[in-house]
Structure 1
């Protein structure tokens, strides 16, 4: 009764088409859910995420759940997550991807999930790291800890979206630092982010983590773009 009243006063709507959700629907209506461009990169013979990092950093396994297309459904999902406070999107995508990965032998060796961090100024402004719910959901599915206090972003570098990779390279490595590094020594970390494009940010994070003794890295993102 209480939930019915809440739905009446504050109707839950689809994060894509914005129609009211039915009781058994979460985040997306059934129609939009079935229309999502699913990537499941870990199932592809030519894993596009692994190819992005080939020759740049050693990656054990890599995957992305969805394909990001400009003005498409995935862009709206991630926009709602990052800028409209819809943290349930991250949890929904993490649960979904986690359910796919938890029974795969290649991901059973993961010992911790680590998010790409936000600078504390941006974290204060936004109020949350958009990757947190996604990472925590993955960690729960994989039955490993979620550790967000070792890899830290030291200085705000502004938006990277419109900067070319060659122009921004050389500053990213200096942006991320390690605190309490002993917490992750001899670990196989699943490094997570919302979107991978050039891979420069994830690469910079990986370079820092790979300084640790016995470190192995796998990567998982909500989406990737061509």
Structure 2
């Protein structure tokens, strides 16, 4: 077994010399132990630390709109920034492994906090089956997989589903976002979520309309507690 592992490591090292893995932010070659993002760029990512702050500004987005326990994001999002580049590569360039890596980094950040202590399931925001077929993967599920690996919390994928394919939210106003997400999600079996604490996971939190629509669908079929975590907040 040891010899087999050594040969595998040697092959991987050789491949990395011929086809080096590069940082998705700065383009520099990654060294052993780095995944997708080099340590220099990782240390410069703008963390929010909202998981340490109850009643933070993200939680206030949901007040009076949905019954949510806690809300946090790993990073601040801004245009023409490293995090914009990272998320665009995740969503539009087929680099789904970035989602897993981001999920690991984010989960490591909140691992020892009260934010996740009572969470029973990680629930990725679902894509409509048509969009899933076109993209080939759900970026939110990739993030959830990375988080689950670190937090050792199981993923519930498929019980919450997107019943209606809605147009992209990217260029819509706040009002249009709310109208665009009403009633688009549903739950197959509410009993799976009954008396559970769910952590909804998505890539970016803007107005919160998509996540509130998810929460509404879950609450309509179960008495679950719901928290929200995203990689970035705008």
Pair in the same fold by TM > 0.5: yes
Alignment partners' CA distance in 2, 1:11 and 1:143: 31
**Per the alignment, in what secondary structure is the counterpart of residue 20 of structure 1?**
coil
Does the alignment pair 1:14 with 2:20? Answer: no
Query: Does the alignment pair 1:203 with 2:202?
Result: no
Cα 1:184–1:44, aligned 2, differ >3 Å: closer, same or farther?
Answer: closer
Q: Which runs of 5+ in 1 are unaligned?
A: none
Shift in Å, 1:46: 5.5
Deviation at 1:66, TM superposition (A): 0.4
Distance 2:25 2:217 in 1: 36
CA drift of 1:168 comes to 3.6
Structure with bigger gyration radius:
2
Give the unaligned 5+ runs of structure 2.
1-9
Pick one of 137, 143, 151 that aligns with 1:128. Answer: 137
The DSSP-based 3-state class of the residue aligned with 2:137 is coil
Return the alpha-carbon distance in structure 2 between the equivalents of residues 220 and 130 of structure 1: 14
Measure, in 2, the Cα distance between the counterparts of 1:184 and 1:140. Answer: 21
Aligned to 1:141: 150
Count of matched residue pairs: 225
Alignment partner, residue 175 of structure 1: 184
Whether the 8 Å CA contact 2:125–2:141 is kept in 1: the answer is: no
- In the alignment, the residues of structure 2 paired with residue 207 and residue 87 of structure 1 have an alpha-carbon distance, to the nearest angstrom, of 28
Deviation of 1:47 after TM superposition, in Å, equals 1.4
Displacement after TM superposition at 1:163 (Å): 1.1
CA distance in 1, matches of 2:19, 2:94: 15
Shift >6 Å, 4+ stretches? none
Aligned to 1:40: 49
Cα distance in 2 between the residues matched to 1:106 and 1:201: 21
- Partners of 1:138 and 1:28 lie apart in 2 by 17
Equivalence for 1:220: 229
Secondary structure, aligned partner of 1:124: helix
Whether 2:101 is the aligned partner of 1:101: answer no
**Quick check: 1:65–1:221 contact (8 Å CA) kept in 2?**
yes
Instruction: Please name the residue that 1:72 is paired with.
Output: 81
Q: Quick one: distance in 2 between partners of 1:214 and 1:45?
A: 22
